[in-house]
Structure 1
Amino acid sequence: MDDEQIMHAMDLDDAYRVDRVLARGTGGVTEIVTLGESGPFVRKRIPSKLARRGVWGTLAECDCARLPHVIATYEMPDEFVVVCDFVPGENLEQLLSARGRLAEKDATRLVLQLCEAATALHTHGIIHRDISPTNVIVAADGAHLIDLGIARFRAEGATHDTTQLGTPGFASPEQYGFAQTDARSDVYSLGRVLGYLLTGTQPGVPDAADYERSLEDEKVVSPRMRAIIERACALEPSARYQSAEELAGALEGREPPESGGAAARPEEPLAPGSPEEPPPRPAASGGRRGPSFAQVIVGALAVIALLAAIVLIMHDAGVFRSGAATGDDSASSAQPQSSRQDQALKPDDSAGAPVAAPTTSEESPLEVVESGWSVDDQGFVHYGIALRNSGDAVVEYPAYTVTGRDETGAVLFSQEQVLSSIGAGETIWWGDLAGNPGQPPATVEFSANGVEDYQVGSGAERSATFAVSGARPVSDGLGGTNFVGEVTCERDDGSDVGNNVALSVLLRDEDGSIVFGAVGFASRPEVGSTTTFEVSCHTVPDYASYEVHALAW
């Protein structure tokens, strides 16, 4: 890239406003961004050495509503940047964390939609290589397969992938360097996702044993579905369904003939630039044969298991020491701890009790004036709070901290939430999720954070105001509850705060105490205009009344 190209890319990059960071890891950074009055969009910043530019270019040609729609791509000095449309909804991990394992018909419907997306990719020669719960968004129209950060074309003649990537528990065995990935690698991942949806348990370490037990339990997974999962996740690629379309046929009852170990490799679409025909296969030769693919993997896994055992022994002996993290680790996965399908939230005895938390400093104008919460069967806290600004100026990016403790008073988690802004003398309400899986707290505290000088605006500044109308609960089609309605912008704040509006749903008991909170987002309407919204709450506790509060975001 020359200097002019670099400057042009940097200008374009700076034109986007980052609303929040969704993920950060070795594969890059994923952000929610807006561009002027347009958006929101998803922007993925991929390290140049990992970027598959041809994949993203080909994705733009895929006419499948269940795949990302590429808006723009551009090069930075060390990154390849992709901007796609934003699909509102929750990923599968969040969905199961909120309501537990899915019924067979619901899990089947979602996986059929993922098969549709995978088939569209495979038709264009693309292997996704990371079909996993966090890369599937469930929107109002069903499942969407996202994040093609490590997707690639199949390379004819290669013996293995050059980069070993994927989500543990969902990545196929060949992704660990034993062979090249192809469409059947994605079939393996689809089978693992199906098993996860039906059992509510992650198939990888440390829950692999629980996953296998749940898979064998006919009260959890029917024999027919277990057989489909086992075939999709066979160790030998040739023993699996040979395409996502075949897997879809099995789920719909159109079972293809059983494939034996000698089944031919499925026909793969040729990647751009590939020869029109693959090279001829060598004729079978007599004499001693080398180890099969399965034998190689079994041997390698045995070595890995031995090394893992050694590490565990050393850990128990005190060779490895690490501090126990009680805060929110954004890199960890929220894994459901129960395989029950009919989970219900149970308000804690103290849920709804107002908490007037002290501010963090005498100068801080913020205070929590109301709060309430409940714990679901996974151990997560669903809460609602009211945060008041008693000062005479707007506070930008006000924040509060949620702390959960066990029966002994030990901290289980401490998580900070930053909001957009709060006007002078105003009170804002917010509903959200906190905590860690499998660690239900005995008590939860809410405290307002201190305010720095740069956060304080002038007394003349005003917050945007909204009116919510027609709010009501509806079924989400999966046995849970969503809240829908309309929101109208009554007054603009004249600031550059994002182009969205956050809708917080609060549920109250008969005493008027908050017992549940959740948040969703909608595009921010112009002054005097109205837009619709839908907030996913899934399984909710018993409640006597509900309310929806809007906040510029």
Structure 2
Amino acid sequence: MSIDDAYEVQRVLSSGPGGRTEIVTIDGIGPYLRKKIPLSLVDRRVWVALSECDNPRLPHVAATYETPDEFVVVLEFVPGDTVSEVVSAQGHLSAPDAVRTICEVCEAISDLHRKGIVHCDISPRNVLLAADGAHVIDLGIARPVGTEPSSEAPVLGTHGFAAPEQYGFARVDERTDVYAAARLLGFMLTGLELGDSYRNALADELKVPVPLRAVIERGSAFEPSARYQTMRDLSSTVSRAAGLGDSQSRFSQVAVGSPDSAYGRAAECKQSKEEAAACRSASVRTTKKRVRRLLAGVACAIALLCLGVLALSYLQSQATSRIADAIVDQVSGNPQAENTAPPSSSDLPESGGSFGQGPGASAASPTESTNALVVTESAWTNNEGYVQWIACVRNDGEKTVRSSKLQVAGRSGDGHVVSSTYQELRPIKPGEMIYFAGISDNGNNTESMDFSIRPSNDGRMQGGAESDLVLEVIDLSEVGSGYGSLRFAGEIALAGGDYIGIGNGVVLVTVVLRDEAGVLVGGVSTTLDQPAVNAPQTFDTLELPKVPYASVEAYAYEW
């Protein structure tokens, strides 16, 4: 009898072209989870890496073996209900449960990423809610970082949770799982998958506090470079958002682990009579302490009230002054309208293209408001249902702008907004220009694109001291594409200066295309690891639609 026959199948959980998943026992021991994957689809590196992970929220590999047609992995079984099942029964999860779940998912996936593996299918059916918290399961289509989808081994994932690059747009990496995790958070809070109803439910502040909605929208951005770059970034931002402003009171209404939460129901608490009596005694002592604290608080409040009356007139005058200053700044700001005219001759690169860290950078200076930033030129292309766009942002002020974002909105023929996205910008020095390219959805309904600058409350890209880093793009060339589109590849070299770790400490490369008149016609951005001294870093870009171009430029920025 073969090892495969030694297992007794208790229940078949799923079966399809991607494999078969079963609950099994062997010699009365178990249950275990057994997954059979066709040899043509398996990547053994995934299971080697998983067997080296000791995170309790990831599947534990008990055994692996092969049959003539399949790769088989046997995993320890974790009892619990999937997020899909819990949401189906409850309608949606409370904010505390959803936040706890997504943070635990991020913890598990971060360990997987450290082994160089992307899960590629974080979805409601692949996250279990067990007594000890969330568990990520089913690595059937997991792939090493950098894997590009192919017809032989498609990495499609679950519709509505799979990132766009899984459908052939680009290689998968950590940001692929960030996209799915953000979608999962939205699903848990709303109880709905992607669609018009989902968008409406996401705007319901009773279910989705505004800070969490902002996290979901950014985490699930179409363009990978616009998302949080790691699961750790997503988790820490979710944690901060859970305690912001008025949302804190909503989060504290149902404590995580209470009998009214999903985790409270999963982990039933049992107490003896002695334990219950001890709890009641502790409760009485706690109540007395709270009463004493309350009386002391009332006395303090009376004293503070007297001081508050004296300070009120001073604060009102100061507040009025600040509001007036803000209004003046807003009114005096230049409107940010799309400008398709080419830049001035001093801004244009020399004939044959220009490779470098971005034109016009000057010495360090104090912070200036975003009114100093202008969108000097932009272009966009509608390509099979999505829009690829590029814009140049220049600092016309005398000080560095540290906290800003590029807002991009697509509009229909009658002027209605049909898509909206944004990109956090790195600190921009006086005279410096930064090119950034991205992707928006709903291209079939887009007739025009608006590009504008907005203040940002996200400190991720603000940095500390200003960078004197000099990066050079070398050996840039157009490379072939199997999709009938444009694609570029090259290398980034460190030419001087020191890294200061702006944002995530990565490098952004933007390829810029112009026609014979020097007008911007297209472009694409990509991110990569920082090059080391005397060790250039290679890169290649996303696909972009073929547009007639006469010259190509490339710029690299510490991002």
**TM-score interval (norm. to shorter):** 0.3 to 0.5
- Answer with 1 or 2: which has the greater Rg: 2
Give TM-score scaled by structure 2 length. 0.45
Q: Which has the higher contact order (CA 8 A, sep 6+)?
A: 1
Give TM-score scaled by structure 1 length. 0.46
Choose between structure 1 and 2: higher helix proportion. 2
